[in-house]
């Protein structure tokens, strides 16, 4: 460097790299739906005391539908567990038949009062699961006939040949107690995105028919624990989990059911003892079904 020449300026220090944006929280600050976690006994007591508002109808009939593997039979067993205060197997299930419906017979499942031997005035019917392929799973015409009470107890569903008038399983003169009073669709929370559009189309078609008949509808979101690790860790995170709410909103969009008519649960499937949180979610769901069904009974009585 020559005399009188200035030194080159030192390079400016590099600006620090921006800190990575924090990951969005996976939970809400507060539960977005209130749940009486300590109210199991009160929910059970209210349901045990239920009496149909219409004296001409002996029970609220709850018809369950959904894709294969949604847990319809497991849901019936789970409800029965709570009322019997033990693990039961009222509706047969087969964990090895994940790709085929195990339910083929139209059967009414009743819940017995252990003290009196009398059945509670709400019953369940589940049907074969929906499948995307034609000629497999429950036939839409058969499910519509079940809605209107035209399917006899013990009828064996045939996906290829739906029930027609004159068949042995056809009920020509259904009573008001034979028809469905509430349609409940069961959807596995961990498989909503994988559900085939054809299955959704079939389920929506049944919903449209139920709406025409005035039958109330709701959705039970099963396998919530399999969909969200936070819920699997603690069921009290159910309405704190943003992921579960996203699944409910996705279900609402695909099926056209309002979010306030969608209730997530966990069915009994591996437990050998009852669980308070599971029972609360199950009883809450059943209470809404019975309430919806009872409202429909009032409309039937007035008409």
* Across 176-192, average pLDDT: 96
Q: How many domains does the chain have?
A: 1
The pLDDT of residue 65:
93
96 pLDDT band, cuts 50/70/90, is: very low
The sheet that has 217-222: what strands, in order across it?
A: 107-112, 119-126, 60-65, 182-188, 217-222, 262-264
Task: Residue 158: give the domain boundaries.
Answer: 40-302
Is 53 within the bounds of a domain? yes
Give me the helix-helix angle, 197-212 and 140-147, nearest 10°.
30
Is 77 within the bounds of a domain? yes
User: Which of 240, 251, 265, 236 has the alpha carbon at shortest distance from 26?
Assistant: 240
Give the pLDDT confidence of 118-172 residue by residue, as tens digits. Answer: 999 999 998 888 887 665 677 889 999 999 999 999 999 888 888 999 899 999 9
Is 33 within the bounds of a domain? no
Q: What is the spatial distance between Cα 129 and Cα 59, in angstroms, rounded to a whole number?
A: 24
The pLDDT of residue 49:
97
Q: Which helix (H) or strand (E) holds 284?
A: helix 276-302
Is 29 within the bounds of a domain? no
The pLDDT of residue 93:
59
Is residue 185 within 8 Å of 262, Cβ to Cβ?
A: no
Is 272 within the bounds of a domain? yes
200: left (phi over 0), alpha (psi -120 to 50) or beta: alpha
How far does Cα 9 stand from its chain's mean position?
71
The encoded tokens of residue 190 equal: 């961990």
With a pLDDT cut of 90, the percent of the chain lying above it is 70
The pLDDT of residue 97:
46
Is 251 within the bounds of a domain? yes
Is 140 within the bounds of a domain? yes
pTM for the model: 0.88
The domain that contains 141 carries what CATH number?
Answer: 3.40.50.300
Q: What is the spatial distance between Cα 300 and Cα 57, in angstroms, rounded to a whole number?
A: 10
Is 12 within the bounds of a domain? no
Is residue 264 within 8 Å of 32, Cβ to Cβ?
A: no
Q: What is the spatial distance between Cα 69 and Cα 103, in angstroms, rounded to a whole number?
A: 10
The pLDDT of residue 102:
57
Q: Helices then strands (H, E): number in the chain?
A: 8, 6
The pLDDT of residue 138:
77
The encoded tokens of residue 72 equal: 């319809």
Q: What is the spatial distance between Cα 22 and Cα 113, in angstroms, rounded to a whole number?
A: 53
């Amino acid at each position: 460097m020559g005399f009188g020449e200035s030194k080159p300026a030192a390079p400016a220090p590099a600006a620090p790299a921006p800190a990575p944006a924090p990951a969005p929280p996976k939970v809400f600050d507060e539960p977005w739906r209130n749940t009486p976690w300590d109210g199991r006994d009160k929910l059970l007591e209210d349901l045990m005391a239920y009496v149909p508002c219409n004296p001409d109808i002996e029970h609220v009939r709850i018809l369950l539908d959904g894709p294969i593997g949604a847990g319809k039979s497991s849901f019936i067993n789970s409800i029965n567990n709570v009322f019997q205060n033990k693990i039961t197997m009222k509706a047969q299930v087969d964990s090895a038949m994940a790709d085929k419906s195990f339910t083929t017979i139209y059967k009414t499942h009743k819940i017995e009062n252990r003290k009196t031997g009398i059945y509670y005035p709400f019953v369940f019917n589940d049907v074969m699961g929906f499948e995307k392929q034609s000629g497999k799973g429950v036939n839409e015409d058969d499910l519509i006939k079940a809605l209107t009470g035209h399917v006899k107890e013990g009828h064996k569903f045939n996906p290829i040949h739906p029930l027609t008038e004159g068949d042995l399983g056809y009920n020509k003169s259904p009573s008001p107690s034979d028809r469905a009073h509430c349609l409940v669709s069961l959807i596995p929370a961990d498989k909503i995105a994988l559900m085939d559009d054809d299955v959704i189309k079939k389920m929506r078609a049944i919903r449209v028919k139920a709406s025409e008949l005035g039958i109330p509808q709701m959705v039970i979101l099963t396998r919530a624990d399999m969909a969200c690790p936070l819920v699997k860790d603690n069921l009290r995170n159910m309405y704190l989990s943003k992921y579960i709410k996203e699944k409910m909103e996705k279900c609402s969009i695909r099926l056209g059911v309002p979010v306030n008519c969608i209730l997530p649960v966990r069915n009994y499937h591996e437990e050998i003892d009852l669980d308070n949180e599971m029972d609360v979610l199950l009883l809450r769901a059943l209470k809404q079904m019975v309430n919806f069904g009872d409202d429909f009974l009032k409309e039937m009585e007035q008409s």
